Structure 1
Amino acid sequence: MVKVKVKNESKHEKFRRLATGRTQKVLDALRILGNCTNTQTYEYTREEVEKIFENIRTTTEEIKQKFMHKITNKHIFEL
C-alpha cells in the first residue's frame, strides 16, 4: 500500500480524501457480495443471509457510534 502525502492538506481534507476512498471500497465489496445471489451458481439459506446482514448492520452501527462519540463528547473544562 502506497501512502499518499498531500502537501499542506488540512485534517478535514485528509479525512474527506481517505473516507471517500474507503467508503467506495466498502460499497464495491457489498456489490461484489451481491454477486452471491446468483442461485444458478450458489446455494444459501435464509439464516445465512440473515447472519451476513446482521453482522454488516452491527459493524456499521459500531463504526457510526465511534464517529458520533468523537463528535459529541468534546468536553470543555471551565472554572
Structure 2
Amino acid sequence: MNEDTFDEAKEGENLNESKANRFKRLASKRVNTAIKQINLIGNLSGSSYEYTDEQVEKMFGTLQAVLDSSRDKFSKSKKRSDQDTFTFD
C-alpha cells in the first residue's frame, strides 16, 4: 500500500465525523502540508542553486495552473448543486 492510499484509509476511519468537520480537518492538514512544500520551493532561490528566469516562470506558472484548477473544482461543485434543482422562476 503506497503512502497516499494509507493516508486516505486513515482519513476515512471516523465514520461518525460530519462532512463539514472532515473537510475542515483534512483541508487544514493538506493546506499546511502544501504551504511547507511551497516554502521548500522558495528555498531553491538561494545561492546554492542556479536557475534561469524561464525556469522560474515555468515552475510558478505550473503551480498557479494547478491552484486555479483546484479552485475551479470548488466553483463547479457549487454550480452543479444549483443545476440539480428545477423551478419555473
Q: TM-score, normalised by structure 1?
A: 0.88
Residues 39-78 of structure 1: CA distance to partner in whole angstroms, max 9, x if unpaired? 2x10000000000000011010001001110012212134
Q: Please report the RMSD computed on the Cα atoms of aligned residues, expressed in angstroms.
A: 1.5
Among 22, 40, 48, the alignment partner of 2:30 is 22
Bigger helix share: 2
Q: Across the two proteins, how many residue pairs are aligned to each other? A: 78
Aligned to 1:52: 59
- Structure 1 gaps of 5+ residues are none
- Structure 1 residue aligned with 2:69: 62
Give the percent of matched residue pairs that are identical in Structure 1 and Structure 2. 31
Relative contact order, CA 8 A, sep 6+: which one is greater?
Answer: 2
